[in-house]
């Protein structure tokens, strides 16, 4: 059975690009446009195997989303990857402290993204 | 009996002095705003030029990869297609980069709009007073530019003419 990924980004283009890459790799993708939307979909939707989230978003940013997800029993050990720019060192650190598993640098190379996902996903 | 003949003159001089201080603060706020705008405009222009360049580059790259995809022969199709699709996905992300650059420009414009609205309300408005104080704090981080000098002269002339106007009104009454 294919795995399910929650993709969170306020930019429709970025969301589409991540969803396209993951769908091609066999994932079922659930899209959310900001943190609040993601929390709603995470609590109501199917079990997620991985979360890929942007950091700068309206309503609820990526760091707050990670904190919220880590409070939920279903997301205690789910890999959460942040989509961030090379220069955002402080944000990466803040994300790690909030409970993120790792990060993917934007603009991302699809092959690199899939390699990182394969590394963090439990076998 | 106390002599109160000079009291009116003192009060007038006192209110004129306080009015001068308020106008001076307002003038300084305008000068700070102008200095800030002068230094920020080239930065914002560069951001916008970068957006244009990024868009042009992305369009060219996309066309190259799409052309390669349509021209690839059957034997090399699967590996080449995957490589070109990866490049297309990477290139398409220009939208995220340009969006961030334009958001920075919009943030700066919003800030200027807020400052200008407060400054236009004049030095007696409570919001304007706060804005003027904030701008005066900003003053420390910007150096005065020659372009500000003309605004300073204009404001000095305005203050002098307002003081003269007030004195002539008082003489008449």
* C-alpha distance from B87 to closest chain A C-alpha (Å): 8
Q: What is the ipTM of this complex?
A: 0.77
Counting one residue from chain A and one from chain B, the pairs whose CB atoms sit within 8 A come to: 34
Cβ contacts of A21 on chain B, cutoff 8 Å: 89
Domain boundaries, chain B: 24-147
- The architecture (CATH level 2) of A4-120 comes to 3-Layer(aba) Sandwich (3.40)
Half-sphere exposure of B6 (CA within 13 A, CB side): 3
DSSP state of B79: H
B23 pLDDT tier (thresholds 50, 70, 90): confident
pLDDT digits (tens, 9 = 90+) for A10-35: 988 899 899 999 999 999 999 999 99
Q: Do A14 and B95 touch (CB under 8 A)?
A: yes
- Residue from B59, B53, B48, B69 nearest B91 by CA: B59
Among A13, A21, A109, select the one facing B96 at the smallest CB separation: A13
**Residue B55 and residue A11: Cα distance in Å, rounded?**
16
Task: Return the structure tokens found at B3.
Answer: 């002599």
A99 Rama class: left (phi>0) / alpha (psi -120 to 50) / beta:
left
For the whole model, what pTM was predicted?
Answer: 0.67
The one-digit pLDDT tens for each residue of chain A (123 residues) are 589 999 999 988 899 899 999 999 999 999 999 999 999 999 997 889 999 999 989 899 999 999 999 999 999 999 999 998 877 788 888 999 999 999 999 889 999 999 999 999 987
Strands, E, within chain A: which ranges? 4-8, 28-32, 50-54, 80-85, 102-106
SS3 A105: strand
Chain B nearest CA to A74, separation (Å): 31
Quick: pLDDT tens for B120-156: 877 667 777 776 676 666 554 444 444 444 455 555 5
Residue A58 C-alpha, separation from nearest chain B C-alpha, in angstroms? 13
């Amino acid at each position: 059975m294919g795995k399910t990924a929650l993709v969170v980004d306020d930019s429709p283009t970025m969301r589409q690009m991540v969803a396209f890459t993951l769908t091609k790799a066999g994932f079922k993708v659930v899209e959310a446009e900001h943190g609040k939307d993601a929390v709603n979909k995470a609590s109501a939707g199917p079990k997620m195997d991985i979360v890929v989230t942007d950091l700068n978003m309206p309503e609820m940013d990526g760091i707050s989303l990670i904190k919220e997800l880590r409070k939920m029993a279903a997301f205690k050990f789910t890999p959460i990857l942040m989509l961030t720019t090379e220069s955002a060192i402080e944000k990466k650190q803040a994300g790690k402290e909030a409970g993120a598993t790792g990060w993917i640098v934007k603009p991302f190379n699809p092959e690199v993204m899939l390699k990182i996902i394969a590394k963090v996903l439990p076998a | 009996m106390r002599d109160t003949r000079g009291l009116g003159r003192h009060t007038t001089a006192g209110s004129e002095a306080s009015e001068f201080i308020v106008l001076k603060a307002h003038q300084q706020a305008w000068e700070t705003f102008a200095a800030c705008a002068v230094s920020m405009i080239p930065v914002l222009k560069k951001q916008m030029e970068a957006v244009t360049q990024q868009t042009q580059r992305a369009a060219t790259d996309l066309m190259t990869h799409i052309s390669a995809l349509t021209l690839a022969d059957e034997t090399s199709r699967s590996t080449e297609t995957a490589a070109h699709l990866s490049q297309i996905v990477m290139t398409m992300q220009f939208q995220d980069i340009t969006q961030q650059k334009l958001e920075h420009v919009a943030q700066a414009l919003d800030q200027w709009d807020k400052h200008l609205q407060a400054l236009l309300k004049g030095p007696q408005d409570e919001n304007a007073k706060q804005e003027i104080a904030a701008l005066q704090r900003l003053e420390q981080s910007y150096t005065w530019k020659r372009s500000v000098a003309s605004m300073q002269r204009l404001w000095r002339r305005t203050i002098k003419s307002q003081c003269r106007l007030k004195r002539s009104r008082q003489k008449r009454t």
